[in-house]
Amino acid sequence: MEQVSANRSHGGTQGVYKHSSSATGTEMTFSVFVPDHAPGTKLPVLWYLSGLTCTHANVTEKGELRAACAQHGIIFVAPDTSPRGEGVADDPDGAYDFGLGAGFYVNATQEPFARHYRMRDYIEQDLPALIAEEFPVDMDRQGITGHSMGGHGALTIALRNPGRFKSTSAFSPIVAPMQCPWGHKALGGYLGPDRNAWAEYDACALIDNGARLPDLLVDQGEADNFLGEQLKTHLLQEACTRAGQPATIRMQPGYDHSYYFISTFMADHIAWHATRLKQ
């Protein structure tokens, strides 16, 4: 692991790091905020997965997370959204919603993406092993959250790994990629036409098939221009109601899809996670 930068902020250290990933076969960059703490203390960790076109930098620079993480004593980890570098396949038309910056947190099976696009393994195995080795984290107290495509990642990773995360939340998540254009393009392109393979990357399908979380918090802006066609928050509400899955799904009037929205409710989410991570 190589440190790219480190800055003091809110009684803690905001670092950016890079390492060679065995999952993606590429160099990956991520950020970590570590609050000040007593020597030998291990802190809970909150994973944040970003959305389409983003890197680790978007939430690190615009998420307004550090004051709340310092207050509650939580380490905040923000990985990249896809592999990058020479030889990494991209959308042939240069579209923003597939390829670089749009890994969708899946393990691709289709060429030319199968070699590097293994973001599921990266988030579930590779990066956690590194974080546990290099930072003072208590891996028995993990929470996960994310935005848009990253909200999809947070929900599906938590649902597929019962017991790993004590808390799960999301901002404007893609809740049913099997039922929206972004999902059709990504899952079809990375996994091929077999929709049975898509189901493990669809939060609503996972809930319908029996996956459960201890609790769930979702915030969604009512003025989000992606709400009707791509995000379809009502489908998650309906799936949770059918399954008896505890969930607080808040529709926020006037808010859009941007980091103005995310940063407004970030402290609420961190406090919500803190309550569950400290139990």
Tell me whether residue 19 is one of the annotated catalytic residues.
no
Candidate list 147, 172, 224, 269, residue with the active-site label: 224
pLDDT > 70 fraction of the chain, expressed in percent and rounded: 100
- Using a cut of 0.85, tell me whether the model's pTM lies above it: yes
Return the pLDDT at 23: 98
How many domains does one find in the chain?
Answer: 1
Return the pLDDT at 35: 98
Q: Which helix (H) or strand (E) holds 263?
A: helix 259-277
> What are the pLDDT digits (tens) for 50-87?
999 999 999 999 999 999 999 999 999 999 999 999 99
Query: What pLDDT band is residue 157 in, cutting at 50, 70 and 90?
Result: very high
In angstroms, the Cα distances linking 157 to 67, 97, 105, 143, 225 are 27, 20, 9, 11, 26
Return the pLDDT at 236: 98
Candidate list 56, 72, 147, 257, residue with the active-site label: 257
Q: Which helix (H) or strand (E) holds 3?
A: strand 2-9
Tell me whether residue 80 is one of the annotated catalytic residues.
no
Return the pLDDT at 71: 98
Candidate list 21, 50, 82, 148, residue with the active-site label: 148
Q: Which CATH number do you get for residue 48?
A: 3.40.50.1820
Question: Residue 52's domain spans which residues?
Answer: 2-277
186, 242, 188, 187: which is closest to 211 by C-alpha? 242
CA 188 to chain centre: 21
**9: buried, middle or exposed (CB in 10 Å: 19+, 13-18, 0-12)?**
middle
* pLDDT at residue 279 greater than cutoff 90: no
| Contacts with 21 (C-beta within 8 Å, 6 or more apart), sequence order | 27, 28, 83, 122, 126, 127
Tell me whether residue 148 is one of the annotated catalytic residues.
yes
